[in-house]
């Protein structure tokens, strides 16, 4: 168990010694690891760090704005935001195979990131939020979709840019990264967020991805997450159990929760009219390692409220279902 202020000052010294007066580029995804890496490196070298944030149009509601508010506005980090939604949607047009979609999103991501990074001609370092489990994993076979963390060795960038890797979180486990993030001033809710896949909503819209679908899904997903956060978790308190470890709400009591867009229409009724609209599935799981998972036994009142809100507030959705499949045999994501 390490002392956080000491840890931070040691890490800061180490980064300063490593990079000297060089410039550093970091790909900010909005996820925990790259965010904590950015905050730590910024603490060490300030304006020598430039972050590149690629918005592929498959992020959650207001995510791009939140990333910019937190890093650019609050922490004063230099962030270049690239709005690449049209480019991604263009390349995804007509593609419905899940692995094909992953490949396209990964490839375009590298393309956009490298193009933007290539403009930072003085940069000597590429920083990544690689954490200890990633190091272990890439020594093994590696799981699908880790392209964002592992693609840079360091192809695609202009020939004159020979970047060295800066990975200040390489020795840390996830819970340590989170504690470090909070100590560096990142908001608790951000640092304790559920994991979000690199291809984002691209694998939560079944089949072909369209902006219209992404917009509907973002709204439904935000309602689900808001209600999970606002619903207290009634834990059975076992005597002697660590009180701090008891989740306070259903968001913290689940490991991952999200909405999935089903591009099929079903019939509904509203007022005296018949509707014919899309379906949203809710998925919430509890797991230790994401290799196996149980569906979360969410309270019926919570599910009912989320369903009502989505159907009333999201024009274009008239039916909500809850996924009660375990992993295995189902996966956590639907694609």
Closest among 121, 22, 16, 24 to 78, alpha carbons compared: 24
Q: Which two tokens stand for residue 68?
A: 């910019």
**Is 52 assigned to a binding site?**
no
145 is a contact residue toward ligand XMP (CB under 6 A): yes
Minimum distance of ligand XMP from residue 123's CB (angstroms): 25
Choices 62-70, 194-202, 206-214, 217-225; region in contact with ligand XMP by CB under 6 A: 194-202
Single residue of 144, 274, 297, 315 touching ligand XMP by CB under 6 A: 144
Parallel, antiparallel or unpaired: strands 49-55 and 23-28: parallel
**Is 325 assigned to a binding site?**
no
**Is 34 assigned to a binding site?**
yes
CA distances to 151, 169, 170, 201, 269 from 123, in Å: 18, 20, 21, 32, 58
Closest residue to ligand XMP, judged by C-beta, is 145
Q: Which two tokens stand for residue 317?
A: 């959705």
**Is 32 assigned to a binding site?**
yes
Single residue of 43, 81, 102, 218 touching ligand XMP by CB under 6 A: 102
Q: Which helix (H) or strand (E) holds 189?
A: helix 188-191
Alpha carbon 62 to its chain centroid, in Å, reads: 13
290 is a contact residue toward ligand XMP (CB under 6 A): yes
Minimum distance of ligand XMP from residue 195's CB (angstroms): 5
Minimum distance of ligand XMP from residue 206's CB (angstroms): 13
CA distances to 163, 168, 225, 248, 257 from 213, in Å: 38, 38, 18, 32, 19
Contact 266, 299 (CB under 8 A): no
Q: Which helix (H) or strand (E) holds 321?
A: strand 317-322
137 is a contact residue toward ligand XMP (CB under 6 A): no
202 is a contact residue toward ligand XMP (CB under 6 A): no
Closest among 110, 85, 106 to 27, alpha carbons compared: 110
Closest among 331, 207, 326, 334 to 259, alpha carbons compared: 334
When the beta carbons of 133 and 232 are compared against ligand XMP, the nearer one is 133
Residue 325 phi/psi, 5-degree rounding, is -105, 140
Q: Which residues contact 309 (CB under 8 A, 6 or more apart)?
A: 223, 227
When the beta carbons of 52 and 77 are compared against ligand XMP, the nearer one is 52
30 is a contact residue toward ligand XMP (CB under 6 A): no
Minimum distance of ligand XMP from residue 15's CB (angstroms): 26
151 is a contact residue toward ligand XMP (CB under 6 A): no
Choices 160-168, 193-201, 242-250, 274-282; region in contact with ligand XMP by CB under 6 A: 193-201
**Is 255 assigned to a binding site?**
no
Minimum distance of ligand XMP from residue 105's CB (angstroms): 8
CA distances to 50, 206, 255 from 252, in Å: 32, 27, 7
When the beta carbons of 64 and 199 are compared against ligand XMP, the nearer one is 199
Site for ligand XMP in 243-262 (CB under 6 A): 256
What residue numbers does the annotated binding site for ATP cover?
29-35
Binding site feature residues = 29-35
Q: Where on the chain is the footprint of ligand XMP (CB under 6 A)? A: 102, 144-145, 195, 197-199, 203, 256, 290, 327, 331-333
């Amino acid at each position: 168990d390490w002392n956080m202020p000491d840890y931070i000052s040691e890490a800061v010294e180490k980064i300063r010694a490593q990079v000297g007066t060089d410039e550093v580029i970091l790909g900010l995804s909005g996820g925990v690891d790259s965010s904590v890496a950015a905050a730590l490196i910024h603490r060490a070298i300030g304006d020598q760090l430039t972050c590149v944030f690629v918005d592929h149009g498959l992020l959650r509601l207001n995510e791009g704005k939140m990333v910019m508010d937190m890093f650019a506005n609050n922490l004063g980090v230099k962030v270049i935001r690239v709005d690449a939604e049209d480019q991604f949607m263009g390349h995804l047009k007509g593609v419905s195979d899940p692995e094909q979609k992953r490949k396209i999103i990964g490839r375009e991501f590298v393309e956009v990131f490298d193009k933007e990074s290539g403009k930072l001609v003085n940069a000597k370092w590429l920083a990544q939020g690689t954490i200890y489990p990633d190091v272990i994993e890439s020594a093994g076979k590696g799981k699908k979709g880790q392209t964002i963390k592992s693609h840079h060795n360091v192809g695609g960038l202009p020939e004159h840019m020979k970047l060295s890797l800066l990975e200040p979180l390489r020795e840390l486990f996830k819970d340590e990264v989170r504690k470090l993030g909070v100590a560096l001033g990142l908001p608790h809710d951000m640092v304790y967020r559920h994991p979000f896949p690199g291809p984002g909503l691209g694998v939560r819209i079944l089949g072909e991805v369209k902006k219209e679908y992404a917009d509907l899904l973002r709204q439904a997903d935000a309602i689900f997450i808001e209600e999970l956060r606002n619903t207290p978790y009634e834990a059975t308190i076992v005597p002697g159990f660590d009180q701090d470890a008891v989740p306070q709400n259903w968001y913290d009591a689940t490991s991952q929760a999200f909405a999935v867009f089903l591009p099929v229409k079903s019939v509904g009724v509203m007022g005296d009219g018949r509707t014919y609209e899309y379906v949203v599935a809710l998925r919430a799981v509890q797991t230790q390692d994401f290799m196996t998972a149980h569906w979360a036994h969410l309270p019926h009142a919570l599910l009912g409220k989320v369903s009502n809100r989505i159907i009333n507030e999201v024009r274009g959705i008239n039916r909500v279902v809850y996924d009660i499949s375990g992993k295995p045999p189902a996966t956590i994501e639907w694609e």
